[in-house]
Each structure stands twice: as C-alpha cells, then as structure tokens.
Homo-oligomer: A and B are copies of this chain.
C-alpha cells in the first residue's frame, strides 16, 4: 500500500460537528405545541390523535427533519427495526444472491440489515451464544448454517428466526436438494452414462452444511435405482469454488476406469472441472459430460448444463416470512416454503459413447 501522492488529493472536507444538533421529539412537540407523547403517537400513525393535531405534528416534524433516534425507540419500545443476517461467507454466488434478495425486501419495509459473516464453527458458536443476549435485532435470517434445534431455539430468544437452505424447527426457505441432485444425475443416466463422478463439498475443517449431504443422497439414490454401484473413488470433494472443482476433476481423471460424466454440486466447481477437462485435451461432452448446480450467471456463458435454483428469490421469500413472523404475535402458523428447481440442459452433457477413449 502506498499512500496517495499530494496532487491526487481531493480537498479535505470542511470541519463538521460529528454530532450536530438534530431535532429531538421534544423540539417537534414544542414547535407543534403539543406533548411529546402526542408527537410519538402522531408520527407512528397510532389512533387517538385528531386529524388536525396529526397534521400539525407531521408538518413540524418535516420542518425540523425529525427522525426518531432508533436506539431510544428500541430501548423504550423493545424493537430495533433491524434484522440480522448470518451467512457463512460473503463472496460465494449463492450467498450474495440471498443477501441481495433479502436486503431488498427488508429495506423496502423499513428494516435495516445487520450482516454477520460466520465462516467457521467457532464463529457460529459465538454467534449463537451472544446474539440473543445482545438484543440488537428484531429477527434473524440464518443462511445455510448447520444449526440444530437447540441452536434455533436459543436464537429465537432474540426474535423470530427464518432459515434459508436448511430445514429447521423455524420457518425455512429451501429447495429440494435431494430431488434436484437426483434429477441432474438421472439426466446423466438417461444419456447412457454408467461411470458417473460426483464433485461434492467437503469442507476442510469448516461447517458441515446440509445441502452437500442431500445432494450426494440424490446422486446415490439414482445410481441405486439404475443398478449402478457407488464407487467411492468417483466421489471427490471440491471446495465450492472454481479451483476446488478443477482439482477434483484432475483427480477424477487419474482414476482407474474414469467417469464418462460428472455431477458437480455447484456451477463454480463445474466450471473449474470443465477447464481441467479441456486443458487435458479432452472434449465436452464428447469425452466427458459435466452437469452443475445453481445456474450461476456464468453457466449460460459456458453453456453449462445445470439445475437452476432461484437463489435471489430464496432471500426474498425468507425476508417476507420473517416480516410475517415479526408482525404476528403468534408466528406458529408462518409456514415454510420449498422453492422449485429446474433442470437446464445446455451443451456440456451428451450421450455416453461406447467408443469412449477413456474406457481404458
């Protein structure tokens, strides 16, 4: 890092008071000639304020640019108008979509969102232990974190909880990972493939997410249905990123009787795999078929066959569910949602060729 050279510097800001005198509820009350209690009621649209009074208050508030101090409100009323969102990592496609979707509807409803990166088990434990005590949110959206019932129950002390990507005792937004993975695998089986690899997700020492487990289940179920034995050496972990996928594929190519088709549990890994295949001088789908999972933007541009999930909608739905839970006194009847996935066949999958040059 080098610091900026003088000539590129913008002029420094003018000195300002960091805590300017901004209007308080008392100022508004004074201007409107009513009590602070009335201001409070008028501004929040509570009943029992005469139209004329409400008008005067609103006008005064506008004139003073009054905005209620959120922490004071929280302290007095017990609500923060903010929602916490916990995601394992901020840079992966799925999470960015979910966060963006949720932030959009939350903001539209006047809620702030507090973002927590929860990359490992330690952080998750701390999050679960401390969040409910800190009283800083009205509700929580928990994405993909492998929380147990006791964890969710603890978190719910902070307010309603909605989980995304994991089933839980709280309302959740999920997809049917088993079925989606089964569909992808079945697609390969239907094309005549019998040696089908799986690039799965096995975190180094990180959190044990449930989606990978379920997707593997779908894969194994279809193999069983088709009377194909699972070969452990065809199941290789990546790290849900490009490089992991590339390395996993490299390993699959070294196996005795290597796969003629591979299902990768994320598009990022699938694209990494494609690169390895091509770098090895092999053709897709001539020599090897590859199917991904997600329908990442990049999937269309690599002509990747994949199973699409509506990640941004998952975030939106979670926010909507949470909004419901927070407004209901009784959130018992807020129901979970399973969003549909969809097989998208593009150009990276094709029929198995008996003349397969990899058959060995």
Contact = CB atoms under 8 A, between A and B. Distances in A.
A12 B159 CA distance: 15
Contacts of A10: 149, 167-169, 172
B70 A72 contact: no
Contacts of A113: 114-115
Nearest to A113: B115
Given A18-B159, A301-B275, A13 B149 contact: yes
Given A67-B133, A69-B135, A340-B2, A156 B301 contact: no
A134 B3 contact: no
Contacts of A115: 99, 103, 113-115
Interface residues of A, number: 87
A132 interface: yes
A82 interface: yes
A16 B153 contact: yes
Interface stretch (A89-97, A185-193, A196-204, A217-225): A89-97
A181 to B, nearest CB: 16
B67 A75 contact: no
Contacts of A232: none
A242 B82 CA distance: 34
Secondary structure at the A interface, as helix, strand, loop or mixed, is mixed
Q: Which of A11, A65, A100, A160 has the most CB of B within 10 A?
A: A100
Contact of A103 (B18, B67, B90, B149): B90
Contacts of A272: 301
Interface stretch (A36-44, A50-58, A256-264, A331-339): A331-339
Given A117-B104, A246-B301, A156 B12 contact: no
Contacts of A9: 167, 336
B90 A153 contact: no
A67 B12 CA distance: 39
A157 interface: yes
A8 interface: yes
A60 interface: no
A75 B82 contact: no
Contacts of A209: none
A22 interface: yes
A358 interface: no
Interface in A69-126: 69-72, 74-75, 78, 80, 82, 89-91, 96-97, 99-100, 103-104, 107, 112-117
A20 interface: yes
Contacts of A4: 172, 174, 335-338
Given A18-B156, A22-B132, A104-B117, 10 more contacts: A1-B317, A2-B337, A14-B169, A16-B156, A18-B160, A67-B134, A70-B135, A91-B312, A99-B115, A271-B298
Give the 7 A-B CB pairs with smallest separation, nearest first: A13-B169, A90-B100, A71-B71, A67-B133, A71-B74, A4-B336, A115-B115
7 contacts: A4-B174, A10-B149, A10-B167, A69-B135, A70-B136, A90-B103, A242-B298
